[in-house]
Structure formats: structure tokens, C-alpha cells
């Protein structure tokens, strides 16, 4: 690790290649419709659901806005209001739509249980919470904070996924299972990150400023891991399930345990493969770890 410069989360950018992003989106949408059509044919009991959520819509953004509006509404925040809000936000921001496409691909490629794009679009609470968060985040940056916080609250109630609207999240993100994820106000997450359920990116409680973790590109964070404070998790690092991390983790290394230590030792930690956030290898480091500990 010559430099240790972390490739920190790239700021969300407007796609410079909007045309190809649009093509991507179109291709994916046609896939999703084909999947939904096939499912509707084979399962009449689900056809109504598939038509209302997917097949009656003319674009991915409309389908997603409809689905989120109906999932997140309450008796005091009507589905029509939320639908409008989602649709207007997605429609006006190609970068948001490109992130949606990346996230769908991430789930499809990385999660063996993800049988189709439409399955993710309809059923993955992590995916849905993340898309709704992106809208809340956009509202936050537009200083529409009370609305962003109300949306945040609905996401936390409905999906048990609690991402502060100020948190910045890259694209190609997989929140797998997702229940219990908590991500604090000043957290930043890079691209191509995979985060399992019950993961906390929490604050230190001491200060009001920048107090939450920064997660580099390609990181994999195992189930139940708790990362606290303004620490840096370097690119392509891995955090073992159930770890409690209070220290920086260099790029391409693995931290495990409570409190977490680096696999291979602080001085010469073992180096990971490329992008564990994509390969999703949770356990190949078991033997090393066991050796290390016992």
C-alpha cells in the first residue's frame, strides 16, 4: 500500500454520459417489464400487484415512484403527495435514476438470492429504502429539511432502515436484508459498497460536527457490524460480521472482532482481493482470523 490515500467516496456527480445512462435505464426497464409479464402470466394471484406496480407504468421512475408512494404513505402523508414528490425528484435528476440502475444491478449480481431485477425493485427493502433516501437527501441539500426528515421517519418506520437524510451515499450499493441498518448524519458511503443488515455507521455522541464513518469504494460490511465515529474504512476493506470498529481500517484490509482488529495484525495486515463489496466474500478470512485470535 504505497500511499494509503483512500479513494474516498466520489461525490455524486451528474452523469457525463447521460445518453448511455438513459439507454441503460431503458434496457433495464424493458427487462423488468418482461420479467413482470412472465410472472403475471404464471401467477394470476400476483398479476394485479405486478400490473399496478410495474406493468401499468411507462418508465422505471414512474414505477418506482408509485411503489414508494404506496409503501411509505400513512394516514397523514398521503400516497398521492409522496408519489408526486418522488416522481418530480426522479424525473428532474438523471443522476438519481442512474444510481437506481446501478443499485438494481448490484443486487442482481451480488446477491445469489436475487432472482430478477423486478424481484429487487418490488421486494428489497434495502433497495427501496436507499432510493427513498436519495430523494430525502436531495431534499436535504435543497434545504427542504423538515420534509426530508419526515421522509426519513417514514423510511425508518416502514423498512426499519434508518439513514439520516444528510448522509451521502454513492451508487452500486447493496443493502442486503437491510433491517436494522442505521447510518448517521455525517456518514459518507462510496460506490459499490455492500452492507448487510444491522450495520451501524454511528456517531461518537461527543460533538455536533463531522462524527460518523467514511466508507470507501468497494467496501463490504458484514451483518451486525458497528462502526463508530469519524473513522475511515479504506477502499476495498472488509468489516467482519458483529465487529465493533472504532479505528481507521486501511484499504484492502479486513477488520474483525469486538473491538475490531486487523486480520494479519496492525503492522502487516493481510491484503484483500479487489472489491469485496462486489465479491461479497464474508468468510474466506475465517481461518486467518481464527489463527490470529486463538
Q: Which of residues 115-134 bind its own copies (CB under 8 A)?
A: 115, 119, 122-125
**Sign of the C-alpha dihedral computed for residues 264, 266, 271 and 275 taken in this order:** positive
Q: Give phi and psi for 293, each to the nearest 5.
A: -80, -45
- x/- mask, its own copies, residues 34-53, rule CB under 8 A, reads -----xx-xxxxxxxxxxxx
Residue 117 neighbours by CB distance under 10 Å: 22
| Cell numbers standing for residue 26 | 431503458
| Position 109 contacts its own copies (CB under 8 A) | no
> Distance between CA atoms of 240 and 221, rounded to whole angstroms?
7
- Closest contact distance (angstroms) between CB of 17 and its own copies is 30
Question: Minimum distance from CB of 8 to its own copies (Å)?
Answer: 21
Residues 223-242 that bind its own copies (CB under 8 A): 223-224, 226, 228-229, 240-242
User: Are the CB atoms for 239 and 219 separated by under 8 Å?
Assistant: yes
Closest CA to 289 of 243, 259, 253, 257: 257
174-213 binders of its own copies (CB under 8 A) = 177, 179-180, 182, 184-185, 196-198, 200, 202-208, 211
Of 98 and 120, CB closest to its own copies: 120
Looking up cell 424493458 gives 30
Binding residues with its own copies: total (CB under 8 A): 106
Using CB under 8 A, which of the segments 11-19, 20-28, 91-99, 275-283 binds its own copies?
275-283
Query: Considering just the CA atoms, what is the radius of gyration of the chain in Å?
Result: 19
How far separated are the first and last CA of the chain, in Å rounded? 27
Joined together, the cell numbers standing for residue 97 give 435514476
Q: Per rule CB under 8 A, is residue 267 in the interface with its own copies? A: no
Work out how close the CB of 54 gets to its own copies at its nearest, in angstroms, rounded to a whole number.
Answer: 10
Query: Regarding beta strands 220-221 and 194-195, do their DSSP bridges make them parallel or antiparallel, or are they unpaired?
Result: parallel
Q: Is 92 in the site for its own copies (CB under 8 A)?
A: no
Compute the least distance from the CB of residue 177 to its own copies, in Å.
Answer: 5
Q: Site residues for its own copies, window 137-156 (CB under 8 A)?
A: 144-147, 149-150, 152-153, 156
For residue 51, CA distances in Å to 41, 57, 67, 218 come to 11, 8, 11, 36
Among 16, 76, 267, 268, binds its own copies (CB under 8 A): 76
Per-residue binder mask for its own copies (CB under 8 A), 245-264, x = binder: -xx--------xxxx-x---
Amino acid at each position: 500500500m504505497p500511499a494509503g490515500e483512500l479513494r474516498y467516496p466520489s461525490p455524486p456527480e451528474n452523469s457525463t454520459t447521460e445518453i448511455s445512462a438513459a439507454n441503460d435505464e431503458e434496457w433495464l426497464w424493458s427487462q423488468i417489464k418482461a420479467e413482470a409479464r412472465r410472472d403475471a402470466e404464471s401467477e394470476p394471484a400476483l398479476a394485479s400487484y405486478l400490473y399496478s406496480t410495474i406493468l401499468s407504468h411507462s418508465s422505471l421512475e414512474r414505477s418506482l415512484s408509485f411503489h414508494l408512494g404506496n409503501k411509505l404513505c400513512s394516514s397523514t402523508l398521503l400516497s398521492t403527495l409522496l408519489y408526486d414528490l418522488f416522481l418530480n425528484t426522479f424525473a428532474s435528476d438523471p443522476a438519481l435514476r442512474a444510481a437506481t440502475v446501478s443499485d438494481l444491478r448490484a443486487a442482481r449480481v451480488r446477491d445469489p438470492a436475487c432472482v430478477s431485477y423486478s424481484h429487487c425493485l418490488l421486494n428489497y427493502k434495502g433497495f427501496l429504502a436507499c432510493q427513498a433516501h436519495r430523494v430525502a437527501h436531495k431534499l436535504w441539500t435543497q434545504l427542504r429539511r423538515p420534509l426530508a426528515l419526515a421522509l426519513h421517519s417514514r423510511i425508518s418506520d416502514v423498512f426499519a432502515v434508518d439513514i439520516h437524510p444528510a448522509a451521502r451515499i454513492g451508487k452500486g450499493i447493496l443493502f442486503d436484508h437491510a433491517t436494522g441498518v442505521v447510518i448517521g448524519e455525517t456518514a459518507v458511503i462510496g460506490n459499490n459498497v455492500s452492507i448487510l443488515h444491522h450495520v451501524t455507521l454511528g456517531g461518537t455522541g461527543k460533538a455536533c460536527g463531522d462524527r460518523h464513518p467514511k466508507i470507501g469504494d468497494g467496501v463490504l460490511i458484514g451483518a451486525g457490524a458497528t462502526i463508530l465515529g469519524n473513522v475511515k474504512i479504506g477502499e476495498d476493506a472488509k468489516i467482519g460480521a458483529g465487529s465493533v470498529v472504532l479505528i481507521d481500517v486501511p484499504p484492502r484490509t479486513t477488520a474483525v472482532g469486538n473491538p475490531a482488529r486487523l486480520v494479519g495484525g496492525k503492522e502487516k495486515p493481510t491484503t484483500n482481493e479487489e472489491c469485496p463489496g462486489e465479491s461479497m466474500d464474508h468468510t474466506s478470512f475465517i481461518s486467518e482470523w481464527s489463527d490470529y485470535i486463538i
